[in-house]
Amino acid sequence: MAKWGEGDPRWIVEERADATNVNNWHWTERDATNWSSDKLKSLILGLTVESDEGSCEVTEVSKLEGEASINNRKGKLIFFYEWNLKATWTGKSKSGIKYKGTIEVPNLSDENDMEDLDISVSLNKDEPETPLTGLMRTKGAEKIREALGSYVGFLKTEFTQGMILPTANGMAKIQSTSQSKAKLDKTQISSSSSTSAPVNTGVKIPTCKFSMREKFLTSPADLYRVFLHQEMVQAFTHAPATVDAEKGGKFRLLDGNVFGEFTELVPDEKIVMKWRYNNWPCEHYATIAMTFLDRSSETELKVECRGVPDNDEERTKEGWKKYYFEAIKQTFGYGARLF
């Protein structure tokens, strides 16, 4: 059976069989620098923002210095990336006047949260002042931050396909989208009953409430982001999803079998949402409150569920454990003991 590294120059494999490695684990490192450079450029180039004053677009990535790699040590993935980025933006006012400026991001790194990125936007010295600079410093910078966050999500999903990740029972490879979809079709969430039209009972139904706790080997900020970035949701569910990450924003995932609306968002701390399976009585939603608790080297996620139909309590619990907790750990390498 082929091992990692055979026929692929991107892999560096080191084997140790000493007192500190009694099980002769394979330690691997995969260089993601070239892939990251291409991915960052594709995500940033062409970004546009508009206002009553005009429009702006990122037209060139003039500097992209840094490196990225993934280490697999004893079944756990460790991500390293550090980038210094400089780009050019061009603006056009409603009256047709064109402007040019620069964008600099000196500290895109695994050591910094996405919210802590320094995104500097300036207008070229020979250009006259324009309100478009302010547009780029606000909406433009936010779009760039989202694009860089997407890069980190893709690094932890798209580039890691086939690498071994930790699970509750040992180690397993990330499944391909087709494998996961086939498996999903056989589960309760994607059962034939789930795809039938919702039943409008016209009467109140008995409901229950319960809470769950789970620990993840990551920061509250990173875990919070997993639930709100569409690309990351699609990655851990292995299926198309729509996520509008704002108060009142809608979400739909797992082939439409789960959907709802965000009712409260406290960055890095709390998410509250109306949540339902598509075969629940028409217009009936449970209320799900997720609290992200910083436990030093890990994050404890507390999930409080209210209004779940009595006859769906176990299915809802198992669904959250399997399609949220375990899937997120396997996809992003946030593995911790289940309890």
- The DSSP code sequence of 113-125 is -GGG---EEEE-T
- pLDDT per residue over 86-95, tens digit each? 999 999 999 9
Positive/negative CA dihedral, 103, 107, 109, 113: negative
- pTM here is 0.47
Looking at residue 25, the DSSP 8-state letter turns out to be P
Model pLDDT for residues 126-181, shown as the tens digit of each residue? 899 999 999 999 999 999 988 898 888 888 776 765 554 444 344 433 333 333 33
Residue 279 confidence (pLDDT): 86
- Within a 10 A sphere around the Cβ of 143, how many other Cβ atoms? 17
Q: What is the DSSP letter of 191?
A: S
Q: What is the mean pLDDT of the chain?
A: 79
**Residue 22 CB contacts under 8 Å (≥ 6 apart), including other chains:** none
DSSP category for residue 32 = -
Residue at 318: amino acid letter: E
Output the CA torsion sign for 262, 265, 271, 272. Answer: negative
Kindly report the number of other CB atoms within 10 A of residue 77's CB atom. 21
Rounded distance between C-alpha atoms, residue 12 and residue 27, angstroms: 9
Q: Which residues of the chain have pLDDT under 50?
A: 1-25, 164-203, 336-339
Instruction: Please give the span between the terminal C-alpha atoms of the chain, in angstroms, as a whole number.
Output: 35
d(CA 307, CA 21) in angstroms, rounded, equals 50
d(CA 244, CA 201): 29
What is the rounded CA–CA span in Å between residue 144 and residue 48? Answer: 10
Domains of the chain, first to last: 28-156 (3.15.10.20), 207-332 (3.30.530.20)
**What residues contact 246, with CB distance under 8 A and at least 6 apart?**
262, 265
Alpha-carbon distance of 168 to 175, in angstroms, equals: 16
| Cα–Cα distance for residue pair 322/212, rounded to 1 Å | 13
Structure tokens given for 147: 């694009």
pLDDT score of 200:
44
Residue-level pLDDT at 163: 52
d(CA 213, CA 227): 16
How many Å apart are CA 170 and CA 76, to the nearest integer? 11
pLDDT of residue 152: 85
Predicted pLDDT at 248: 93
Catalogue the E-assigned strands of the chain.
11-15, 26-31, 48-51, 54-73, 76-93, 98-109, 120-123, 164-167, 170-173, 207-216, 242-243, 250-253, 258-266, 270-277, 286-295, 298-309
* Measured torsion, CA atoms of residues 190, 191, 195, 196, in degrees rounded to the nearest 10: -160
